[in-house]
Amino acid sequence: MIRLLIVEDQPAVRKGLLMRLAAEPDLSVVGEAPDGEAALHLVACLCPDVVLIDIEMPGMDGIDTASALRSIYPHASVVILSMHDDPLTRSRAEDAGAAAFVGKSMPADTLLTTIRQVAHFIPGGDR
């Protein structure tokens, strides 16, 4: 079972992701956070395999959150979600340590495939 933490500031988007991901037999959403700071507090106690992070959030944005997560909880793979799918945004996500980037306009199957791929990769270790 792949354990997921969803980090998204818009409740409707968060709920939509939760409903779609919960329908998958090999995925378990273990928590939700409305912003980066809440995610940093939850990650240590929830121990997710994958953290899905929106880029645009109030306070700590997704790029800063991804970078902080790589430092404090390197066992989780970070997938950045963004409606801004351009080379600069992708580069910033990669520089922050994200394992993958998925545009919000991509089909749901793309997100599901990406989650499964990054869940089996831990920097410096194996799953």
Domain limits, the chain: 2-56+65-87+100-111
Mean pLDDT to the nearest integer, 41-60? 94
User: How much is the pTM?
Assistant: 0.91
Tell me the per-residue pLDDT of 69-122, one tens digit each, with 9 for 90 and over. Answer: 988 898 899 999 999 888 999 999 999 999 999 999 999 999 999 999 999 765
- 3-state secondary structure (DSSP) of residue 83: coil
Q: Where are the alpha helices (DSSP H) in the chain?
A: 11-22, 36-46, 62-72, 87-95, 108-119
**Unique residue bearing structure tokens 């792949």:** 2
Mean predicted confidence (pLDDT) in 42-57: 95
Report helix, strand or coil for 28: strand
Q: What is the pLDDT of residue 120?
A: 79
pLDDT value at residue 4? 97
CATH number (3.30.930.10, 3.40.640.10, 3.40.50.2300, 3.30.70.2750) of 2-56+65-87+100-111 reads 3.40.50.2300
